[in-house]
Amino acid sequence: MYVRLVELLQHHLILLQNWLEQWTIKVNQTKSAQVTFTTRRDICPPVNLHNTHIPVKKEIKYLGLHLDEKLMWKTHIKGKRCQLGLKVKNMNWLINTRSQISLDSKLTVYKTILRPICTYGIELCGCGKPSNTKILQTFQSKMLRMLRLQPNLAQRLRNPVRNGND
């Protein structure tokens, strides 16, 4: 199955190699990696660039996104969740419910510092497994409750929404 694909890939790598030599561009081969994006269990044979094997890996980090071979985004989302947790821990004194800062200021902190971390690459990660994307959704709900933009369950139960007939 992969034999023909590897031949085509190797042919295009040779073409790329010629183009790189023509424009005197050097490739750092120690930073190069090969990831085969598939749900199959087959292993794709390695290919060569400048007579050096490109190592086969199961996941790689590219432009801040962790790409795994099945594109489930688990590593990326868990990494972002840890990063968000550290940011919140450092800024807890500023955005917690007992803080004297106005709601608008807290919202500005959330929009400028936390939301960009949460939404970077969301176009791709949003297509991942629902159990993985729920991790970030849970964090956002927790943050909105912390900022008091969304009331928690206890407050909603104590102050139920009443219709006009009561």
Q: Determine how many CB atoms are found less than 10 A away from the CB of residue 79.
A: 14
pLDDT under 50 in the chain at which residues?
Answer: 162-164, 166
Q: What is the pLDDT of residue 81?
A: 92
Q: What is the pLDDT of residue 126?
A: 74
- Strands annotated E in 63-154: 65-68
Task: Note whether 109 and 95 are within 8 A (CB).
Answer: yes
Per-residue model confidence as pLDDT tens digits over 125-146: 777 788 888 888 888 888 888 8
- Helix, strand, or coil (residue 64): coil
4: left (phi over 0), alpha (psi -120 to 50) or beta: alpha
Q: What is the pLDDT of residue 166?
A: 47
